[in-house]
Each structure stands twice: as C-alpha cells, then as structure tokens.
Amino acid sequence: MTPLDGRSVLKPASDVRFRIVDREAVVVRQRDSEVLVMSDVAARLLALADGVRPVDAWLDVLVEEYEVDRGTLERDVLQFAAELAEQGILEVADR
C-alpha cells in the first residue's frame, strides 16, 4: 500500500460499521463477524474519515482538541491511520 500522507483521503472499509459508545468506538467487521472495541482516538479518526477530507483537514480539527503540536499530531495520526488501514478498518478512498 502507498504510504499515507497529509493528502491521503480515507474512509471506513465497506464492511465496517462503527458507533461511538461513551467515547469508545465499537467497530464491527461484517465480513469476519468481528466486534472490536477501540479507543476514543480511533473513534475520532473513524468519524473524520469521511472519504472527502484529507488527513491534513483532520489535523486542523484535532489540533484544537488535543494539546499537542501539529508535527507530533501529524506523525501520530498518520501512524494510527496506517494501523487502521492495515487492519482493514480504513481504506484509501478513490478520488
């Protein structure tokens, strides 16, 4: 897979369903009938991954929410997004 960068546009995989329950993401992978409970950060990223806004636009939002500098945030977010993509939860959207 091409490495993600700030211009990458992501969306939840087509068989993924998720909701936020009390700051945690309940993620269902339909294909495997699997339920995952993930952190609030994952929940946040899933909500931001709308298939339209690039990761850079997520950072604009997240930098307001987390007290951390943009560079660190970008590194962490890209790393986490890549992990989610690896697990088949996020996928790169066609543009």
Give the binding site for another protein (CB under 8 A): 14-15, 17-22, 24, 26, 28, 30, 33, 35, 37
| Least gap, CB of 42 to another protein (angstroms) | 12
| Least gap, CB of 88 to another protein (angstroms) | 16
Residues 21, 37: Cα–Cα separation, whole Å = 10
DSSP assignment of 51-73 equals: SSSBHHHHHHHHHHHSSS-HHHH
17 vs 75, beta carbon nearer another protein:
17
Helix (H, G, I), strand (E, B) or coil at 87: coil
